[in-house]
Structure 1
Amino acid sequence: MHPLFGPLPLDGGVEFRIHAPDAGTVELVIDDVAHPTTRDPFGYSKVFVPGVAAGTAYAFRVDGREVADPAARAQESDVMGRSLVVDPSLFGRNKRLGRRWADMVIAEVHVGTVTPEGTFRALIDRLDHYVDAGFTAIELLPINGFPGRRNWGYDGVLLFAPANAYGTPEDLVALVDAAHQRGLSIYCDVVYNHFGPVGNFIPTYDKGFFDSSLKTPWGAAIDFTREMVRRFFIENALMWVDGYGFDGLRFDAVHAYFGEGRAPFLRELAEEMSALSPKPHLILENDDNLADLLERDSHQEAVRFHAQWNDDIHHAIHVLTTGEHESYYAAYAGDPSADLARALSEGFVYQGEPSSNRDGAPRGQPSGHLPPTAFIAFAQNHDQIGNRPFGDRLTEIASLEAVALARFLVLLSPQIPLLFMGEEFATKRRFPFFCDFEGDLAEAVRKGRKEEFGAFSGFAGSDIPDPLSMETFESAKIDWSELSDADAQEALETTRRLLSIRRRLVVPRIASAYRGAERALERGVIRVRWSFEAGSLTMVLNPTGDDALLAFGPEARASAGGEPAATTGVVSLTDTGIGLGPWSAAAWAGR
């Protein structure tokens, strides 16, 4: 079937259409010539224009106001400019790699700051770095059209158009192709829970797109009970995956899909994605911890979604390594070692227990039956760095030994590892929040950031970076010259070494059927053993600042696999146990 949204190339021209049931008059404007549209019974205003070539600029004039096509495939400038017709033969050129999910090691990347130029083409020149470091996939923060020239991407408005600041659709096709040529999978983060605050005119001509009875932090909620609305986002997902050739998508903040339409939307989305061959990898961010979205079939294949970002494991790691326990970290402050042990062995920490982050309401579903590959582990990501007042990374707020332990468990646990750009070489660059708004909205963002952090000890009255300034944006860019430093080279070599061990010992086991896990906790020291059809994995961690001695003698070590496959910190083996210095760990791979 033809897509319902965006320009539709037909013989001799293009049919332009927009779903605008609440508009009075709708015209298409090309070269300042207005073409009247006709409205069909379903609320779509359409007009066929012969002889339209790729690169033609157009806009819709709705009740006298010019607006961009909400499903435009490209823009002349940002979201407030005119849309562009894109050559339809551009789509479908790249085919997905079809790599196993168990092979994935993900680098999260922001296109605008990972290189000095901040473009799709410039990123191509850095892909070899990620391959050499041991990554098998890169995941792009949202690249859809946003207001201004700089943004994290979560203020997206034109969800079908790659941000003009990063390049053209042709440039994006080249990036995906270049990644695939190197054997790198490439994922894209998509935001279906809200639109940005500037340039979204849908509410003026399609009021039913939103449900005004459901309030969100961004205004009225998107109404997923409407089939047309669900189709809009499903077609968007299909464009990124089947059109550009992305190997998968990460769905931002699924817990913010409000209302009764969430369940049918997620079901339909997963069904259409799963019908593609090879199947794309579907990744969730979901604070609700809904294990039923991650269920596997009898062959351990994901039924709907492949994995969820495991915020629980991050929060436990963060509390342990930094001692911070304010805001949402308060829910992990009671016994963070126990929380980390549970997150490693069962996935979620909160599996239906009351959470202080939800005013004592229960959160989550039981997840211990799920394989570790249903979870993505990380010690840092764009949110957990960038939503700090100064955008400081773990290397600034934790000891080197604690950071090394966090890296060790993320890269060698059987969960799927994710590192934020530059983390692989312990970059010293911060990643502060930035955007590019004007006028009252810009001032509101400045004020909101200061108020957000005013209650945090250590930050009250602090002069946090101005999120609107070019200086803040430039400060977030990766400084690749750091790689000439000995410390950066040492960190990068450690990343390579651990990922080499992962490929050799961890991946073959997690690619087989999961048999379950067991854990033990003794004075803050964690021991977890995971069993798979192809063998076992064992990890012993001392996430404390004290020396520890764990009863783990030769017989237990032989069962785990003999000598440790990897260690970090000070680890000593005796006839009766294992000595672990502060922030030390050991990992084994056994039969």
Structure 2
Amino acid sequence: MHVQSVNPLRHGATVLDAELTQFALWAPDAFYVSVELEDGYSLPMLPHADGWFVIKACCAAGTRYRYKIDGELDVPDPASRAQDGGLDQPSVVVDPHAYSWRYDEWQGRSWNEAVIYELHVGALGGFAEVEHHLARLAELGITVLELMPIAQFPGERNWGYDGVLHFAPQSCYGSPEQLKHLIDSAHGHGLAVILDVVYNHFGPAGNYLTYYAKEFFREDKETPWGDAIDFRRGAVREFFIENALMWLLEYRFDGLRLDAVHAIESPDFLPELARRVRQQVGLSRHVWLTVENELNQSSLLEENYDAQWNDDGHNAMHVLLTGETDAYYADYALQPTEQLARCLSQGFVFQGHITRHGESRGEPSDHLPSTAFVLFLQNHDQIGNRAFGERLHQLADPRAVDAATALLFLSPMIPLLFMGDEYAAEQPFLFFTDHQGELAESVRKGRRDEFAAFSAFADPHKRDQIPDPNAEETFLVSQPRIAGIGSPRQEATLRLYRALLDVRHHYIIPNLSGTQALGAQMLGRGAVSARWRLGDGSELRIDINLSDTAVACPVRPDFRLLFTTVSTEVLDEDMLAPFSTIAALKPMTLKSALVN
């Protein structure tokens, strides 16, 4: 329940016309607030109800400013739309209408068409540098770019999940106009762009809210990152809803992926955010809302959100591909094949099942469409949260990785790949930050302590070998070298991705609407056969064997071969070869046509 009504004031600096800007700060713990302009003017802000301070000032877009709290503390605008450098520099007034859009008619793409390419803007060199990759990604068959968080964070190197100023694009990546140009250019290539946003916490450095707005947080609720954000308060809810609407309406992102929503201590906030977004965006645009949610709440996907990242599917496949069962993979150690089958036929693996901690996790999900689940073989988490950032192709048999890749792109779930996957990049993706002093030491120690649960790092001396997140070299080695493509493995991987995405675009995507899972069965250790009725009445069947032993496989009468990772010359009608995937399609029959 709300404990106060929503104030109609908008957070931050709002350009009213060419020469007038309104500044609004929610500071319920402050007695006096002024806005300090770059020309030396100090303007007292007028106190309003519910802890707001407001003033309209004669200043234009581009003006630098800070807030001064109680005549003592200078702080950046928590809703700063841009910073003149880092967190310790002035905030900048931004005119959201200054950019002239070139592809103004863009209305987005259907969610069924999504093939997602997750990338880190900083690792690719900034907003302008990312534009250089648009043409090749569109040609490959990618339809969506997903940017890891870009909100202003401490320093110049960070994954983005330490964002402090949620409204300001990271200044070292480029200006707000350069970000808009990137999105505009992507639309020109037919690419949608979605943004990863973090609404569950603020970064550990540079956040001054506790000095003048303690009510932003709850002392009675903890998250892994500190006190929980208090979404019961109207000004707090509006802060994040305004943020979502800014990215979608002003920057024209095509969707948002909400990070770790299980850490949001308010059951009604997420539905309200989705409702407000749908109302504001309208029916003419395709705008997607997806989540990361350890709670596996299928109820959240029934109306409000389009999809959830399916960690269950990844974890089951990772155990089958690598044999690793440490830490969170322990929940998938005993029955990974059965769990993969459940994932393919029902969505979540954990649907109320008991975890290794003895707790029930998840809700039934077999009533949801396959497109409600984003499937991946790896993403920034699964690579970067390894001690040395190794990629999957460096950990598993290449044939098994190819077989899993075929499942990724040909199943009716929405596929996601991480930058560099498409050419088997050799560079790692490590966890990196740019903290200083005691915080840097704390992050360094915490990073190494995380791996105490892994058998390979039980020895503290081995944990000392884990790269320092704050070292510049850690960031530099995490930058993928796309210009160096050329090894046989890289060329073969690129050919595989092109072929699979061609099949997906021709045979899977056009018929995803109305798809129904028909079940999945275990064929043996590491081997599964799954079937779906596509929207046009045809039947898709995928047989996958991630083991090193051939398994018996039911014949495929009347099925047309779509793709196989083994030579068609050695295909056996009754057997499924080791490390292989076969995808086949049965055309619509009269019976299935009547059913549909």
TM-score, scaled relative to structure 1: 0.93
**Alpha-carbon separation, structure 1, partners of 2:15 and 2:449:** 49
Q: Secondary structure at the match of 1:126?
A: helix
1:321–1:3: structure 2 CA closer, same or farther, 3 Å change rule? farther
- Can you give the 5+ residue segments of structure 2 that lack an aligned partner in the other structure? 1-6, 589-596
Structure 1 counterpart of 2:440, one-letter code: A
Matched, 1:17 2:17: no
Segment of structure 1 superposing worse, 249-258 or 454-463? 454-463
2:4 aligned partner: none
2:274 aligned to which of 270, 273, 287: 270
**Alpha-carbon separation, structure 2, partners of 1:536 and 1:202:** 55
1:317–1:55: structure 2 CA closer, same or farther, 3 Å change rule? same
**Alpha-carbon separation, structure 2, partners of 1:584 and 1:516:** 22
2:511 aligned partner: 509
**Alpha-carbon separation, structure 2, partners of 1:308 and 1:273:** 18
2:541 aligned to which of 521, 538, 542: 538
Deviations 1:33-86 (A, max 9, x none): 211111101211112211x12211100011311100000100011122210011
Residue 2 of structure 1 and its aligned partner are, at CA, apart by: 6.8
Contact 2:523 2:551 in 1 (8 A): no
Deviations 1:74-104 (A, max 9, x none): 0011122210011231369456532111111
Q: Secondary structure at the match of 1:502?
A: helix
Structure 1 counterpart of 2:375, one-letter code: A
Contact 1:97 1:183 in 2 (8 A): no
1:423 aligned to which of 405, 421, 424: 421
**Alpha-carbon separation, structure 2, partners of 1:310 and 1:455:** 23
**Alpha-carbon separation, structure 2, partners of 1:224 and 1:141:** 24
2:123 aligned to which of 102, 110, 113: 113
Contact 2:533 2:540 in 1 (8 A): yes
Matched, 1:567 2:561: no
1:101 aligned partner: 111
Residue 445 of structure 1 and its aligned partner are, at CA, apart by: 0.8
1:487 aligned to which of 486, 489, 492: 489
Aligned 1:424-463 pairs, distance under 5 A: 424-459=422-457, 460=459, 461-462=461-462, 463=465
Contact 2:15 2:61 in 1 (8 A): no
1:226 aligned to which of 213, 233, 242: 233
Residue 549 of structure 1 and its aligned partner are, at CA, apart by: 2.3
Contact 1:290 1:365 in 2 (8 A): yes
Contact 1:5 1:17 in 2 (8 A): yes
Segment of structure 1 superposing worse, 479-488 or 338-347? 479-488
Structure 2 counterpart of 1:334, one-letter code: L
Structure 1 counterpart of 2:274, one-letter code: A
Contact 2:375 2:415 in 1 (8 A): yes
Contact 1:482 1:488 in 2 (8 A): no
1:200–1:251: structure 2 CA closer, same or farther, 3 Å change rule? same
Deviations 1:453-491 (A, max 9, x none): 133222333201111011110000010122233321221
Structure 2 counterpart of 1:84, one-letter code: V
Q: Secondary structure at the match of 2:553?
A: strand
Contact 1:251 1:285 in 2 (8 A): yes
Segment of structure 1 superposing worse, 460-469 or 118-127? 460-469
Of all paired residues, the percent bearing the same amino acid is: 44
**Alpha-carbon separation, structure 2, partners of 1:209 and 1:279:** 32
Contact 1:111 1:141 in 2 (8 A): yes
Structure 2 counterpart of 1:198, one-letter code: A
1:313 aligned partner: 313
Contact 2:315 2:329 in 1 (8 A): yes
2:576 aligned partner: 580
- Could you say what the CA RMSD is over the residues aligned between the two structures, in angstroms? 1.5
Residue 451 of structure 1 and its aligned partner are, at CA, apart by: 1.3
Contact 2:183 2:252 in 1 (8 A): yes
Segment of structure 1 superposing worse, 219-228 or 142-151? 219-228
1:135 aligned partner: 142
Residue 508 of structure 1 and its aligned partner are, at CA, apart by: 1.8
Structure 2 counterpart of 1:74, one-letter code: A
1:80 aligned partner: 88
Contact 2:193 2:253 in 1 (8 A): yes
Contact 2:15 2:93 in 1 (8 A): no
2:221 aligned partner: 214
**Alpha-carbon separation, structure 2, partners of 1:222 and 1:135:** 36
Number of corresponding residues: 566
1:145 aligned to which of 152, 174, 179: 152
Deviations 1:141-160 (A, max 9, x none): 00110010110000000000
Residue 546 of structure 1 and its aligned partner are, at CA, apart by: 1.1
Deviations 1:555-574 (A, max 9, x none): x331xx23x21011367444
2:531 aligned to which of 523, 529, 532: 529
Deviations 1:363-415 (A, max 9, x none): 10110111100000000000010011011111111111111112111111110
Aligned 1:12-411 pairs, distance under 5 A: 12-31=19-38, 32-50=40-58, 52-63=59-70, 64-90=72-98, 93=101, 96-114=106-124, 118-258=125-265, 261=266, 263-275=267-279, 276-277=281-282, 278-295=285-302, 303-356=303-356, 359-411=357-409
**Alpha-carbon separation, structure 1, partners of 2:502 and 2:275:** 35
Residue 516 of structure 1 and its aligned partner are, at CA, apart by: 3.2
Structure 1 counterpart of 2:12, one-letter code: G
Deviations 1:165-220 (A, max 9, x none): 10000100100000000000000000000000011111111111111100111111
1:471 aligned to which of 473, 484, 489: 473
Q: Secondary structure at the match of 1:473?
A: helix
Q: Secondary structure at the match of 1:165?
A: helix
Contact 2:523 2:552 in 1 (8 A): no
**Alpha-carbon separation, structure 1, partners of 2:181 and 2:576:** 48
**Alpha-carbon separation, structure 2, partners of 1:153 and 1:92:** 28
Residue 328 of structure 1 and its aligned partner are, at CA, apart by: 0.4
Residue 129 of structure 1 and its aligned partner are, at CA, apart by: 1.6
1:8 aligned to which of 6, 10, 14: 14
Residue 520 of structure 1 and its aligned partner are, at CA, apart by: 1.3
**Alpha-carbon separation, structure 1, partners of 2:94 and 2:401:** 46
Matched, 1:413 2:411: yes
Contact 2:107 2:286 in 1 (8 A): no
Residue 126 of structure 1 and its aligned partner are, at CA, apart by: 1.1
Segment of structure 1 superposing worse, 542-551 or 427-436? 542-551
**Alpha-carbon separation, structure 1, partners of 2:35 and 2:489:** 58
**Alpha-carbon separation, structure 2, partners of 1:95 and 1:54:** 26
**Alpha-carbon separation, structure 2, partners of 1:346 and 1:207:** 43
Q: Secondary structure at the match of 2:408?
A: helix
**Alpha-carbon separation, structure 2, partners of 1:578 and 1:159:** 56
Segment of structure 1 superposing worse, 474-483 or 167-176? 474-483
Residue 522 of structure 1 and its aligned partner are, at CA, apart by: 2.5
1:519 aligned partner: 520
Q: Secondary structure at the match of 2:358?
A: coil
2:594 aligned partner: none
Segment of structure 1 superposing worse, 143-152 or 526-535? 526-535
Contact 1:91 1:244 in 2 (8 A): no
**Alpha-carbon separation, structure 2, partners of 1:494 and 1:16:** 53
1:97–1:488: structure 2 CA closer, same or farther, 3 Å change rule? farther
**Alpha-carbon separation, structure 1, partners of 2:552 and 2:515:** 30
Deviations 1:305-326 (A, max 9, x none): 1100000000001000000001
